[in-house]
A and B are shown apart, each in its own frame.
Chain A
Amino acid sequence: MTVAARLRAPGWYRAMLSVPLGIGFAFALVVPLRALSHYKPVVDGDAITTVALISTPLAFLIGIGCFDYWFRWASGAPTVPEDHSGHGARSWRDYFRVNTDHKVIGIQYIVTTFVFFIAGGIMAMLMRAELAAPGEQFVDSNTFNGLFSVHASLMIFLFIIPVFAGIANYVLPLMIGAPDMAFPRLNALSFWMLPMAGILMLASFFAPGGAFNTGWTSYAPLSVDMPLGQTFFNVAVQFAGASSVATALNFLVTIVTMRAPGMTFWRMPLLVWANFTTSLLVVIATPFIAGSQFMVLLDRALHTDFFNAANGGDVIMYQHVFWFYSHPAVYIMMLPGFGIISEVISTNARKPIFGYRMMAFSLMAIVILGFTVWAHHMFVSGMFPWLRVPMMITTMLIAVPTGIKIFSWLATLWRGVIHLRTPMLFALGFITMFTLGGISGVMLAVIPVDIHVSDTYFVVAHIHYVLFGGSVFTIFAGIYHWFPKMTGRMYDETLGKVHFWLSFVFFNLTFGPMHLVGIDGMPRRVADYAQHFAFWNAFISVSSFFFGMSLLVFLYNIVTSWRHGPKAVANPWRAHTLEWQVSSPPPIFNFDEVPTVVGGPYEYGVPGAVHGVFKEKPAVKEPAVAAD
């Protein structure tokens, strides 16, 4: 191809050309507007950057080709018929293109999110290095604030939330017997918005004044007065949020409209149920964080008065709006993991899930209760005092459906034939660690305890027990469980077990002592601390470095197994769900014939039980509607 043709065709050449155009657009918009309005200075770096942060990623998305089809459609021009070259991946290059295949997008998601996981992990290591001893070691307190803010934001918005979307993207259509997601092009756009958000967050380190440093919560009015880096966060959250709403919408439509014949809601695997409920949460809750960040952005850019108390604004309002998303968000970060654990435990214990319907109902209960607990994050904020006790009660109530799940898993294990493979180890590790995190969560729901440990390391310990010991362990379980399906190769079981035991032991050595220093009163989000806490912090830091290194075992295992691992058979775990009934990796459109579902997904140990069968597709009267 000639250079000119390459610049016209969707892809990296056009994307690289679009980036300067996006920045140029920001200049062309801001400078004349400021000149017309007699603002001084006419060329204002902050104003141009704010616009460029929005226009440049959009320009990149247009350049890479996310919108080509829609542009043609919108103008009424004939759309380019797909020759299926956009589907499936033949070489690694295909993973760097706009691809509409849910299996390719799933892997794009997982690999991208792990890149940001590693970036966030390195920041955690830097923080622990700084905290190894009292006083200033490596970074000043402003940089430290930037590190923990970007660490948390990357882990939440660029790792845990989207990696679940990635895993589900790969396995969910297979599990329900669908050839792809309902909206494959929207799916591709969802994926490509994600690196935009991550790059913006990382790029904030280069902004004058340093990275955004108000924590991932970015409370107003502090965030309104912060230097330019904060704007990077405000805009990045919009991209990550739009990506996650679009994916959730896609999952919901896929689950409702594209299930295989016989796949009733009560025959769906629990991973599908988990993503169904999670997607409901995402669609309903995520606009609230978008709203809160729009308000901060407007206060910063246009000097509005949302959070300016002198002009009648209300600063507590930020926390209400923010937590109305961000508390449901902790379930967005946990429910898909519950689904993964149900798959792994049932398969590896060779037993049907105990209380399948209650498992699904408890997911729904968490969705509903999840919207009624947000203000338990605000017990010390100065909000309405009457709201505290109701929030305490609902917070404790939500432990009930969670407890139902824990006990159902334990009952599933009871007298099972337990195969202690790596995914199962992570699942068992998850149950113990998440229960501990859940217990400290109930402690935090108790108002006096919460007031005592507010903003201490106890909270840091709690969140890492539920998000690492909880969510990330389920992610590892899921990655190991579906690794043969995704790559067509087996991972190394020994290295997997080494990875589990290293991360399990050093996870506890890292975050366990944080409970102690937290109850003792060590404040979180501070680069320096009293001499009194020196021993435990040195201990935590050393543990955390080993903990960080345990990830290297995982990465080595994944990379070498993906390249040279032994070939995987279609169903190495002898699981019943549909994704295991096709080859590893699955054929390009998943199923050569649509399977018919005849039973529950977890009938292990029941003689002759099958979940899905492949037979001639029954004649369909009305023409089936296109699945894109």
Chain B
Amino acid sequence: MESASVALGHEHEQHGPPPANRSSRVDAQLLGMLLFIISEVMLFGAFFSAYFFIRVVAGNDWPAAGTALPIAVAGCNTAVLVSSSLTMHWALVSAKNGNRFGMRAGLLTTFLLGATFLAVQINEYVHLGFAIGDSAQATIFYGLTGLHGAHVTVGLLLLSMATIRAFRGHFSPTEHRGVEVPGIYWHFVDVMWIIVYTTLYVL
């Protein structure tokens, strides 16, 4: 995380090059994360293009004949992930207000909810009854959910860093970007899941 040296500003002197002129009110770390998310959206876009070609252009059945997708279970899982966005927001608001308990509890809950989502998803993979190479529909199903799962994993990694640091006494009402930036990423992962869920399971 690039917010590193800034987040630790209160622990030791500023190091690295001297401060530059700030030519924008936008924070560098936030802008960096937003641009990264744009590029992530496009990566999903590539896989959604594949989905479009396989389902619409090639005209394959959806889901593949003889298979079914657990819409209800995945729907509950969606609720789990959406609620984790709410707890993430709670953590950030707490951090901004100097509520250390709220920040720690919020981060930890978010992490646990995210881990639950991932565990349910893996359990679903085990019981789906079709494998990634069985058909193009299976391929893009696993491709999109797997790509999303990889993003959840990265999000959990970022959250675990923020959580560890929160429990080791970092972050303050003035310096909370270490919570905010992973939080933005986590919201992105969440919104992306809603799109993935809608296109793969519901439609």
Contact = CB atoms under 8 A, between A and B. Distances in A.
Interface of A: 69-70, 73-76, 78-79, 81-84, 87, 100, 177-180, 182-186, 245, 249-250, 252-253, 256-261, 263, 283-288, 290-292, 294-295, 298, 302-306, 308, 311-314, 316-317, 320-321, 324, 589-590, 594, 624-628
Nearest to B8: A79
Contacts of B14: 626
A625 B6 contact: yes
A178 B18 CA distance: 9
Nearest to A256: B24
Contacts of A253: 28, 31-32, 35
A166 B13 CA distance: 30
A179 B19 CA distance: 7
Nearest to B163: A76
Contact of B46 (A250, A291, A590): A291
B203 interface: no
Contacts of B4: 69-70, 73, 79, 185
List the 4 closest A-B pairs by CB distance, nearest first: A291-B46, A312-B136, A287-B43, A624-B19
B133 A291 contact: no
Contacts of A286: 39, 42
A89 to B, nearest CB: 15
Nearest to A617: B21
A260 B53 CA distance: 47
Nearest to B142: A304
B49 A321 contact: yes
Contacts of B57: 314, 316-317
B84 to A, nearest CB: 20
Interface in B1-58: 1-2, 4-9, 11-24, 26-28, 31-32, 35-36, 38-40, 42-43, 45-47, 49-50, 53-54, 57-58
Contacts of A295: 46-47, 50, 143
14 contacts: A76-B161, A76-B168, A180-B16, A184-B16, A257-B26, A258-B20, A304-B133, A304-B139, A306-B54, A316-B57, A324-B49, A590-B17, A624-B21, A628-B17
A347 B128 CA distance: 66
- Looking at A178, A260, A291, the one whose CB has the most chain B CB atoms below 10 A away is A291
B198 interface: no
Nearest to A590: B17
Interface string B157-170: 00001001101101
Nearest to B138: A305
Given A249-B36, A627-B19, 16 more contacts: A69-B4, A73-B1, A74-B164, A184-B16, A252-B31, A253-B31, A253-B32, A259-B21, A284-B42, A287-B39, A287-B42, A302-B133, A306-B54, A311-B135, A312-B136, A314-B57
Contacts of A313: 54, 58, 136, 139
B42 A288 contact: yes
B140 interface: yes
B33 to A, nearest CB: 9
B67 interface: no
Interface residues of B, number: 62
Given A81-B15, A288-B45, A626-B16, A311 B6 contact: no
A396 B133 CA distance: 42
Given A76-B164, A259-B21, A287-B45, A186 B31 contact: no
B132 interface: yes
B3 to A, nearest CB: 8
A283 B135 contact: no
B39 A284 contact: yes
Contacts of B36: 249
Given A284-B39, A305-B136, A317-B49, A256 B31 contact: yes
Q: Among the interface residues B6, B23, B140, which one has the most CB atoms of the partner chain A within 10 A?
A: B23
Contacts of A79: 4-5, 8
B52 to A, nearest CB: 8
B199 interface: no
A291 B170 contact: no
Nearest to A285: B42
A294 B28 CA distance: 30
A267 to B, nearest CB: 11
- The residue among A83, A290, A312 with the most chain B CB atoms within 10 A of its own CB is A312
Nearest to A102: B17
A308 B143 CA distance: 15
Interface in B84-124: none
Contacts of A320: 49, 53
Given A253-B31, A287-B39, A317-B54, A74 B1 contact: yes
Contacts of A184: 16-17
B166 to A, nearest CB: 9
A81 B21 contact: no
Contacts of B9: 626
B136 A182 contact: no
A260 B21 contact: yes
A179 B161 contact: no
Nearest to B158: A74
Contact of A302 (B23, B24, B132, B168): B132
Given A286-B39, A290-B43, A182 B28 contact: yes
